[in-house]
Amino acid sequence: METGILFKYNYNATAPVVINQGGTSSGKTYAIQQVLFCLACTEKVVITVVGQDIPNLKAGVLRDAHNICERSQPLQQMIKNFNRTDRVFEFRNGSAGSTSSCQRNPFKSS
């Protein structure tokens, strides 16, 4: 997987919360997704990427997630399936990576 400096800092971070600050389209989300894919491959984890709404996630985060996968054969081998309905990457080691909207569902009471 081809990675840059942002990947390195996020991957090596040990703090419980890591904040990425930077200009629009400077590669923050892309690098963080690369880190999350690596974590999902190395240990069994459940990851949720939250965005403002589903159309936004589909046009941004999810498109880049698929690009990252397409560009890495080792990563493709670790992924069992992408569930289109629930937008979940299912990994062979049991990890799961999903995307979710932070908008509240008006039809749910909770």
Ligand X SMILES: Nc1ncnc2c1ncn2[C@@H]1O[C@H](COP(=O)(O)OP(=O)(O)OP(=O)(O)O)[C@@H](O)[C@H]1O
Q: Is 20 in the site for Mg ion (CB under 5 A)?
A: no
Looking at the Cβ atoms of 64 and 90, the one nearer to ligand X is: 64
Lookup result for tokens 């941004």 = 60
Looking at the Cβ atoms of 57 and 69, the one nearer to Mg ion is: 57
DSSP for 58-98? Answer: IIIIIHHHHHHHHT-HHHHHHEEEEETTTTEEEETTS-EEE
Give residues 29-48 in contact with ligand X (rule: CB under 6 A): 29-30
- Identify the H or E element spanning 8: helix 5-12
Q: Is 106 in the site for ligand X (CB under 6 A)?
A: no
Give residues 47-66 in contact with ligand X (rule: CB under 6 A): 60, 64
Question: Which residue is at the shortest CB distance from Mg ion?
Answer: 29
| The residue type at 9 | Y
- Applying CB under 6 A, the residues found at the interface with ligand X are 4, 22, 24-30, 60, 64
